[in-house]
Amino acid sequence: MSLVSFDAENIISRLVEAMLPRFSDQKLGLYIVLDLSFSDYGYADDGNTKEREALHVREYFSFLFVRPSNYTKVFFYRPSKDAKGLTLDPSYSKEPVLWTLECDHDSCWRSDGMRQITKIYFEATKQFEGRLKSGKPLTHYDISQCHNLSFASPYYVELDKFTQVYSDAPRYSEIERLYWIHMNKIDFSNLEMFNCSDIKKYGQHGLFIKGSEDYQREVSYCKRCLGIGDSIELPRNY
């Protein structure tokens, strides 16, 4: 599990399960931004004597969850070090942004999909190594930490562009996991949950963007379940 104090992996996986059920619209994503900050204010053990320069480290990074089947896709984005303001948040970008597919699995997405959290945590705290407090090495307990969900996340996004960079890349290679993604924020009022009674025959149903191809297919399925129309097969792209 993550070493971040608020148990990020567990909290985020619970949010995903609650907000984005499996078998949801293939164009629908749940977007989450994490803001991790670490500070050594430079005071001695007495809390008043300033004995060293303060050091502040802050990390922003994003996750995108897509659940068009029983598998969950987890994408990861980390902005460049010189990014500031809205450039820290790829959902504001007018152009597609390069994301990495961390995991596409029915269960391991909760751990493998979010392993970057622990990696970034250690990268950040490593910058405090060698600092002394009242002549003793600084410990994790001496570092003030604040970890939050940022930019009003989580929220729903519609995937306007979703393209694998190297579609013919070798399986399990690093380049296979690169995707160009452009997204638009979408309000919950534009979404609809389906719960077809004939689950065994027509499969499970999730959350859909009103008017999308997946939405039209689910409407057709449910009409057939109720005996008021014929089913229209609309293929999923992934």
Q: Provide the pLDDT for residue 87.
A: 87
pLDDT digits (tens, 9 = 90+) for 56-87: 999 999 999 999 999 999 999 999 888 888 88
How many Cα atoms occupy the beta-carbon half-sphere of 102 within 13 Å?
21
Range 126-137 average pLDDT? 94
Give every CB contact of residue 117 below 8 A, 6+ residues apart in sequence: 2, 4, 8, 9, 34
- Name the average pLDDT for the chain: 87
Sign of CA dihedral 110, 114, 117, 119: positive
Residue 151 CA to chain centroid, in angstroms? 13
Task: Inform me whether the pLDDT recorded for 225 exceeds 80.
Answer: no
Contacts of 63 by beta carbon, 8 Å cutoff, 6+ apart = 12, 31, 32, 34, 74, 75, 76, 77, 113, 114
CA geometry: angle at 24 spanning 19 and 25, to 5°?
Answer: 120
Please check whether residue 4 is in contact with residue 36, taking contact to mean a CB–CB distance below 8 angstroms: yes
pLDDT in tens, 168-210: 888 888 889 999 999 999 999 999 987 655 545 445 578 999 9
Cis peptide before 68 (omega within 30 of 0): no
User: What distance in Å separates the CA atoms of residue 55 and residue 115, rounded to the nearest whole number?
Assistant: 25
Q: In this predicted structure, what is the pLDDT of residue 194?
A: 76
The pairing of strands 207-209 and 191-193 is antiparallel
CB contact burial 188-221 (16+ within 10 A = b; e otherwise): eeebeebebeeeeebeebbbbbeebbbbebbbbb
pLDDT(41) > 70? yes
pTM of the predicted model as reported, rounded to 2 decimal places: 0.87
Contact 177, 196 (CB under 8 A): no
